[in-house]
Structure 1
């Protein structure tokens, strides 16, 4: 009886770790799905009146300080934070912190 209990405890441990991983076939299927990746510089709130008053050259103050890390979102869900870098003539983002999967699920 004791051996059965030990075996089932081991099976539960193996099962939970296996459930957390994707097998290669599932990964191949998921690999072709396109997702929207966005980098959020900051946010602010405006009234409609303020929004309508904006024109070329207007400056809107955001809630972040210069040099703060930026949020990296996939399909609107924060997955990481990073900093802007130059990649040749284009902007890029260097991932500095990855959001824990448990916290990502909380935001969905």
Structure 2
């Protein structure tokens, strides 16, 4: 008599993104607005320098003009991009984006 037992099934490991987006709680939260911002650069100033600012003042930032800009969602870095114009308004073209797991983790951590 031959052994006709069924081979053990391999459980497919769902990736964290599929697991999260298929989660009923995530679906309930998916329509909640989040804040996207683009950081052009930053600098440190002394309070006296801030008080001396006037119309026409120029503040030098820490980035080169051709550097990609940081795209943040709720304070979490999710991508890098470049400025474009869309119908006379600023826009951002995504050039490099974090893996979905990283984006969701960053937003979840700060949410």
* CA RMSD of superposed structures (Å): 2.9
Per the normalisation by structure 2, the TM-score is 0.75
1:32 to partner: Cα distance: 1.1
The range that moved more, 92-101 or 32-41, is 92-101
Aligned pairs, number: 101
CA contact (8 A) 1:77 1:104 kept: no
State how far apart, in whole Å, the 2-side matches of 1:104 and 1:42 are. 24
- 1 or 2, which has the higher helix percentage? 1
Structure 1 partner of 2:17: 20
Q: Give TM-score scaled by structure 1 length.
A: 0.77
Gaps of 5+ in 2: none
The structure having more radius of gyration, on CA atoms, is 2
1:102 deviates by: 3.9
The separation in 1 between residues aligned to 2:24 and 2:32, in whole angstroms, is 14
Where do 5+ consecutive residues of structure 1 fail to align? none
How far apart, in 2, do the equivalents of 1:52 and 1:20 lie? 47
Aligned residue number for residue 51 of structure 1: 50
